[in-house]
Amino acid sequence: MNNPYQPYRPYSRIVNTPPPNPNILSYVDSVLQKSRNLYGHRPSDPQTRFSLSSANTGIIKTETDVKNIISSPSLVSQKSMVQQQTLKSKLEYSSPKKSEQISFQLEQSPNVGLVPVSNNSKIECQKVQLISGVEKNEMPKYKNFKTIKKLGVGKYSEVFLAIQIQTGFLVALKVIQKALIIKEMMQGQLAWEIKIQYLLEHPNITRLYTFFQTQTEIVLVLEYCSHGQLNTLQQTKQNKKFTENEAAQLVQQITLALMYIHNQDVIHRDIKPDNILLSFGQIKLADFSFCVYSPDEYRQTQCGTLIYASPEILEGDMYDKKIDIWGLGVLTYELCFGKPPWKENQQELMKTACFMIPYTASRDLRDFIENLVKRLSRERYTAQQAYNHGWLKRSMQVVPFYITSNEVLFN
């Protein structure tokens, strides 16, 4: 029997050829600018202004133009969408040099703030429903997609399982309300999310195939991950604990994703179980809502989820890619012991990296966590060092424990 899990090379370097379709990147600019003009909340703000050095403007006026987006050979053909099922996308992208691998610049991203892990999602859901005018049980309707069921609700969006009518291809539609984004001054961060995730291509990262807009919404067409969120799987485990071997399988693939994005100068900034998806033997890093392209190494914007935030985030200091490594360490602790090392009201302990590792942990696991969750970011492992750690090596070439026969994609 063939092993359904195959290890992947830690890096997928971008080749030196121009992006095949810069129009979608220019489209981000035009859509968000039109949204600002439509709602009239404020004029164009230099803090959310961004530019492309070598892209033609491709303006797509309404949701009805999505047919042209999907079928355009310069973007993602129907054939290549089907090929995504085998994780062999033909969509390639690049820029001439490393500093331009993701070919856009943003002068300053907005301060999006820390999000408590226990925030009232019902209130946020009500905001989305009030703005969109969509009843609780009503499915959104689009010309080229048939929505099947709601998969989840985020702070600024709802996610639906849908089928692309022409190809029968299952996708996840992330529906973002324009008015809410503008009200929260999140236009700049939304631009980061779309542009970065569209350019990233790795087996352990959810793909953004394309996106389109309606009069009130921006809709991201994302890869559908059939096994759902990692935190949902965690709820099925006794005491919410994975065995060390199971946790190592999960963390090893998350580390691969971090190695890739860090090599592209991208920081995720919100590593947590909710943002890890599972799909047929693969772990997928998802939700790039707080991500940023940072070739200049250090940032200062406070964002992410409070309980997974590193000391430099909590103290408002400059930070770099190592905040993702901290999040990986906290996530590893939670997977192995059923809960994070701290509670939300223990921020002083978080700032000093003061925590206890249960005596049941193996020596390798203890060493792995301690080298990720260090007070000083310069002392933390890089993603490459974490990947090479002995605790993760045991998980390689192992059939994923959550794969069973007779899989049911949806009810």
State the catalytic residue, choosing from 270, 320, 364, 367. Answer: 270
User: In degrees rounded to 5, what are phi and psi of residue 35?
Assistant: -65, -45
**Is 339 annotated as a binding-site member?**
no
Residue 240: DSSP 8-state = G
Residue 46: DSSP 8-state = G
Residue 97 in tokens: 């040099």
User: In degrees rounded to 5, what are phi and psi of residue 222?
Assistant: -115, 160
**Is 296 annotated as a binding-site member?**
no
**Is 149 annotated as a binding-site member?**
no
Q: Is 128:178 a contact under the CB 8 Å cutoff?
A: no
Residue 394 in tokens: 């045991």
Active site residue 270: yes
Residue 35 in tokens: 């949204």
Candidates 344, 353, 345, 227; CA nearest to 282 is: 227
Percent helix, strand and coil across the chain, each to the nearest 5: 40, 15, 45
The vertex-291 CA angle with 386 and 121, nearest 5°, equals 105
**Is 183 annotated as a binding-site member?**
yes
Residue ranges of the annotated binding site are 155, 174, 183, 287
Q: Which residues are annotated as a binding site for ATP?
A: 155, 174, 183, 287
Active-site residue set? 270
